[in-house]
Amino acid sequence: MSLFDRWRVTLDRLRAEGRFRTLTPPIGLDFSSNDYLGYGKLTFHDATDLSRSGSASRLLRGEHPIWSEVEARLADWHGAEAALVLPSGYAANEGLLATLLEPGDVVFSDKLNHASIIDGIRLSRADKEIFLHNNLADLEARLTHRGAERKAGEAWFIVTESLFGMEGDFAPLAELADLAERHDAHLIVDEAHATGCFGEHGGGLVDAAGLRGRILACVHTGGKALAVPGAYIVGSMLLKELLVNRCRHLIFTTALPPMVGNWWLEMLDRVPSDTATRDRLHANVRAFRETAESVKLRIGGNVYIATVPIGNDADAMRAATRLQALGYDIRAIRPPTVPIGTARLRISIHADHDAETLRELAKNMLPTAITSEPRTK
């Protein structure tokens, strides 16, 4: 079989499974992006005084003083020693894990962690234990079991998202921190979907729970609620030094353009004090969820990530198409983004939605849920 035939076979199989993807522009009212705070619609100030491109890695003349200012302010926002900006959350997770975890170490990773966490673990060649999603008993059993044969010098890590992007549920962060401490493991948290939206100053779920000091490293992304390109890792100064020296996703990639640093500074001027937008977001969540409950719409997830479980991929596509025809940009989430047999609709609620539209949407979702009883292929 030629290489191109091999590609065609792959794509035909995806079509037959109802999993073929195309790049589709916005369809209607935005209920699918992660622009939770609605900041994506704001314009940034002109930044023409800064060069357009990083033009080199941060270690090779791509470094601009704006990044040390951004990183100092990020660290300060989270009350941490240090922050390090990377080009994307994918790079941050992959680079962080591939740097910190070494062959011979053991990482305990939630079954539904994001692809970038999975790939970072793969790259590290550490031994992995996948625990059932948010299941503390399963994690503890694995920690205890592995403990019997733990060797000296073997570092252990527990990795989780704080708000799971495709489930919309919370990780039990305080309990995970307890378990990590009891079993001499280090906790790493991906705050991609929580950054900007929780805590008095919007730092995320780790800050809201007062857990910053008990966590080895957090990954925060700019591309979701903060509406700025890039991501950052928060931790100790020692961690930052290690990453600057060893993280291949920082060393061997072009720096973000310095003008993007201006956007970060603008974001940092706004987000920590913008409680009004956070309050609006959570009020919208209540409007949607209360209506959903009143019309008996079965939805999963918490807060602003709501899911309608469907099961079958083709049914999920049909349901999404129906809602799109009504003017809602709602997409079907299918494998491999979610496990096989758990295709769903994902509704992302934003601060700049209006409550009436959300109530209306909840009612319009109803036929979707009724006609699509969960079932597997």
Ligand X SMILES: Cc1ncc(COP(=O)(O)O)c(C=O)c1O
Give the neighbor-by-neighbor strand order of the sheet with 331-333. 305-311, 343-348, 331-333
Nearer to ligand X, 96 or 180 (CB): 96
88 lies in the site for ligand X, by CB under 6 A: yes
192 lies in the site for ligand X, by CB under 6 A: yes
Instruction: For residues 261 and 47, give the distance between their C-alpha atoms in angstroms, rounded to a whole number.
Output: 9
Nearer to ligand X, 86 or 143 (CB): 86
Give the one residue of 109, 134, 221, 372 binding ligand X; rule: CB under 6 A. 221
Nearer to ligand X, 215 or 369 (CB): 215
Stretch touching ligand X by CB under 6 A, among 101-109, 185-193, 241-249, 327-335: 185-193
CA 156 to chain CA centroid, Å, is 23
90 lies in the site for ligand X, by CB under 6 A: yes
Give the one residue of 71, 169, 190, 329 binding ligand X; rule: CB under 6 A. 190
Stretch touching ligand X by CB under 6 A, among 86-94, 194-202, 255-263, 269-277: 86-94
What part of residues 95-114 is at the interface with ligand X (CB under 6 A)? 114
Nearer to ligand X, 225 or 316 (CB): 225
223 lies in the site for ligand X, by CB under 6 A: yes
Nearer to ligand X, 195 or 368 (CB): 195
Nearer to ligand X, 231 or 297 (CB): 231
Nearest approach, Cβ of 73 to ligand X (angstroms)?
19
Give the one residue of 75, 231, 260, 285 binding ligand X; rule: CB under 6 A. 231
Stretch touching ligand X by CB under 6 A, among 20-28, 85-93, 205-213, 300-308: 85-93
Instruction: For residues 165 and 89, give the distance between their C-alpha atoms in angstroms, rounded to a whole number.
Output: 13
Q: What is the number of other CB atoms lying within 10 angstroms of the CB of residue 45? A: 9
Nearest approach, Cβ of 183 to ligand X (angstroms)?
24
93 lies in the site for ligand X, by CB under 6 A: yes
Sign of CA dihedral 120, 247, 219, 50: negative
Binding mask 124-163 for ligand X (x = CB under 6 A): -------------------------------------x--
Stretch touching ligand X by CB under 6 A, among 9-17, 189-197, 263-271, 353-361: 189-197
Helix (H), strand (E), coil (C) string for the chain: CCHHHHHHHHHHHHHHHCCCCCCCCCCCEECCCCCCCCHHHCCCCCCCCCCCCCCCEHHHHHCCHHHHHHHHHHHHHHCCCEEEEECCHHHHHHHHHHHHCCCCCEEEEECCCCHHHHHHHHHHCCEEEEECCCCHHHHHHHHHHHHCCCCCCCCEEEEEECECCCCCCECCHHHHHHHHHHCCEEEEEECCCCCCCCCCCCCCHHHHCCCHHHCCEEEEECCCCCCCCCEEEEECHHHHHHHHHHCHHHHCCECCCHHHHHHHHHHHHHHHHCHHHHHHHHHHHHHHHHHHHHCCCCCECCCCEEEEEEECHHHHHHHHHHHHHCCEECEEECCCCCCCCCEEEEEECCCCCCHHHHHHHHHHHHHHHHHCCCCCC
What part of residues 157-176 is at the interface with ligand X (CB under 6 A)? 161, 165
Cis peptide before 257 (omega within 30 of 0): no
Stretch touching ligand X by CB under 6 A, among 88-96, 171-179, 291-299, 367-375: 88-96
Nearer to ligand X, 193 or 278 (CB): 193
**Amino acid, single-letter form, for residue 44:** F
Count of residues engaged in binding ligand X, rule: CB under 6 A: 14
Stretch touching ligand X by CB under 6 A, among 187-195, 245-253, 265-273, 326-334: 187-195
Q: Which two tokens stand for residue 115?
A: 């692809």
Stretch touching ligand X by CB under 6 A, among 89-97, 134-142, 254-262, 291-299: 89-97
Nearest approach, Cβ of 35 to ligand X (angstroms)?
12
Binding site residues, ligand X, CB under 6 A: 88-90, 93, 114, 116, 161, 165, 190, 192-193, 221, 223, 231
